[in-house]
Chain A
Amino acid sequence: MRHTLAVLVENQPGVLSHVAGLFSRRGYNIESLAVGQTEDPSVSRITLVVEGDEKVIEQVSKQLNKQVEVIKVNDITNEETVDRQLLLLKVAADTAVRQEIMQIVEIFRCRIVDIGRRSLIVEATGDEEKIEAIIKSLRPFGIQELVRTGKVAMVRGAK
């Protein structure tokens, strides 16, 4: 099962490599990782998506918790969360299909952020399902370049 971990760490050089190194060293696989400063500039938040059973996730959390720079580890897999990824996608777009692509973009409520002579860059944010759906819809036109971030997630409500 895939688990989403929200890891608060001290915002210092080397922390990310420390956390990522821990995963590779112990043979756990990171599916997605996103990191950035929080409301407190001395603290960063790493959102990790890890594949594994309960035992693996428990061990991952404990090992993370042991690290000196790690402040808190939360498994938010079963929480009600808002989660987002960002997608930038360059798709082949001759005049013949340009209109059709723009309609698809409209349906998914994403945006065209660059227009080239033969291509468009589409920007989208959304949960994983939506991002996957956009990619699937635009694939037939010819994807020239694709880049997406890891998942960021936040627990809903008062927490």
Chain B
Amino acid sequence: MNGAEYLVKFFENKNVDIIFGYPGGKVIFLYDVLARSSIKHILTRHEQGAVHAADGYARVTGRPGVCFATSGPGATNLVTGIANAYLDSVPLIAVTGQVGLSDIGRDSFQEADIIGITMPITKHSYMVKELEKLPAVMEEAWNVATTGRPGPVLVDIPSDIFSGSVDFSTVQKKIATRKVPLKNGLDEQLQKVVDALKNSKRPLLLAGGGIIASQAWDQLKDLKDYLQIPVVTTLMGKGAIPEKEEGVLGMVGMHGKPFANLALSSCDLLLGIGARFSDRITGKPEKFLPDTVIVHVDIDPAELCKNVRTEIPVVCDAGKFLTELLGRLKKEKVRLRLNEWHRQIAEWRQKYPLTYEKNGSLKPQSIIEEVARIVGDRAIVVTDVGQHQMFVAQYYPIGGIRNFVSSGGLGTMGFGLPAAIGAAFGRPGEIVLLFSGDGSIQMNIQELATLAQHQLPVKIFIMNNSCLGMVRQWQELFFGKRYAHTIFTSNPDFVGLAGAYGIKALRISRPEEIKGAVIQAVRTPGPVLVECAVDQEENVFPIIPPGGSPHEMLGRWQGETHVSRIG
């Protein structure tokens, strides 16, 4: 058996049903074998498309995404997608071809040191230099990607490892067991959390992506119901709990819901679970909630006390923590009296709702609201990066599990279309909604070809404001309206472009056209692109200005037409 055959067999044995990739000279042996396998291979039109698709697949299924690329430019084209998966803790295995062993280090044709390049953006990376080590490396790579805090792993394989043969039945497959983070002291920390909750008058639970990675949505809901504790989420935590649930306030942070941010800045106990307190949530970390007791639960010990001070750090899997905490609270019959806190939040909700001005022009928010009304909260919702992403985070309630796919940590424009393709392959038969912008979609627009080829039910809504909306907004608010290189004066005809790829498309430019277009898009089988000519001047509010704290929001409040600080 040669190395390529072994590798394909390995993925078959791991029940990998789909691999995204792009062939090339140094993986030609691998592709020769793959073509004869039961595993489906999806040929994207760029390696970045392949890695984002694998990422999207992993996010909606919970299983690791797998992608292949050839050496050199193939491998380097994966870099953005790997970094994207790393920052959002997505399990991913990227296999790259490498030049033959004897050619390594000579700047050979299509050679790049992909291990060196990706070292800071993978959980770990391997180069297989001996065929006999391939089984152990693959087992270990799989293990590293999928256990603990998930993440991307890269395996670089020289071409002669693919073509070389060995009797794999005699080869060592066992991997050394890795050290596990010390779980000592969990009991003690749990008790501290219970005591802190007892003493709290205004507790708040911040749910991050770790809840989803740990599949702890039921446990989260149980704890929320038992304690009646209000819940806010991060962008990555969106979908950790159905957003229509009583007491779920939605997203906090730079573009969080105003009342959710007010709750965040006023809580006396913050229970952060599987969230990494990124700067989008905290603003200036040293100014973040100076008088609040912060509990931080994370499976990765290095996250604790990394960004914010933490009174009670807990190293634990989110699901296990929630189960144990609830058990202890029930045993001690802990009940919180939070009527005053709920009344206060309800008042903020009423006084500072999430609003936008309906002035007759086509608004991205109304499109998103209309789609949500028609399609419902159980759809798979994918976004690209920019203003539209924040509008979706604000206005599209997510109800189902693993139903929200968005590039959180890296903020990768161009992520949306390939990720939507990966999501559609991961959950066949379900409708995938992709919200993108005219800037973002053009960063991987070649994947329309992949979409067309497979006739996936991806409904694309391009919020076309003929500009890079989020940067334009910053220029308007913080750079004296100097719109340096953010206005697109020559956008393509997206409807015509979709047609060229063989995708059905339509264009709307008035609010009254939204409903008809959404219904048509959803009823038409296969992919549909809806180009929405939206108001160029629409901004995402609220916004916490750079360096600000959660309560320092700019926005339009209670029908005001001008932008002001809250309060």
Residues on A facing B (Cβ under 8 Å): 14, 17-18, 21-22, 25, 55, 58-59, 62-63, 65-68, 71
Contact = CB atoms under 8 A, between A and B. Distances in A.
B116 A17 contact: yes
Nearest to A68: B124
B121 to A, nearest CB: 9
For the side of the interface on B, what is the size category?
10 to 19
A6 B510 CA distance: 66
Given A62-B301, A65-B302, 14 more contacts: A17-B119, A18-B119, A58-B305, A59-B302, A59-B305, A59-B306, A62-B306, A65-B181, A65-B301, A66-B300, A66-B301, A68-B124, A68-B178, A71-B179
B151 to A, nearest CB: 10
A39 B487 CA distance: 64
A55 B305 CA distance: 8
Contacts of B304: 62
Interface centre among A25, A65, A68 (most CB of B within 10 A): A68
Given A68-B144, A68-B178, A71-B179, A25 B120 contact: yes
A42 to B, nearest CB: 10
Interface in B112-126: 115-116, 119-120, 123-124
Contacts of B119: 14, 17-18, 21
Contact of B115 (A14, A55, A62, A66): A14
Contacts, number: 33
Nearest to B315: A62
The DSSP consensus for interface residues of chain A is: helix
Interface of B: 115-116, 119-120, 123-124, 140, 144, 178-179, 181, 300-302, 304-306
Contacts of A63: 302
Contacts of A66: 300-302
Contacts of A17: 116, 119
A66 B123 CA distance: 9
Contacts of B306: 59, 62
A107 B140 CA distance: 55
A72 B123 CA distance: 18
A22 B300 CA distance: 16
A75 to B, nearest CB: 15
Contacts of B123: 68
Contacts of B124: 67-68
Nearest to B121: A25
B302 A21 contact: no
16 contacts: A14-B115, A18-B119, A21-B120, A22-B120, A55-B305, A58-B305, A59-B302, A59-B305, A62-B301, A63-B302, A65-B181, A65-B301, A65-B302, A66-B301, A68-B124, A71-B179
Nearest to A69: B124
Contacts of B181: 65
Contacts of B301: 62, 65-66
A68 B179 CA distance: 9
A55 B179 CA distance: 23
Please give me the 9 A-B residue pairs with the lowest Cβ-Cβ distance, nearest first: A62-B302, A68-B124, A25-B120, A62-B301, A63-B302, A66-B302, A21-B119, A18-B119, A59-B306
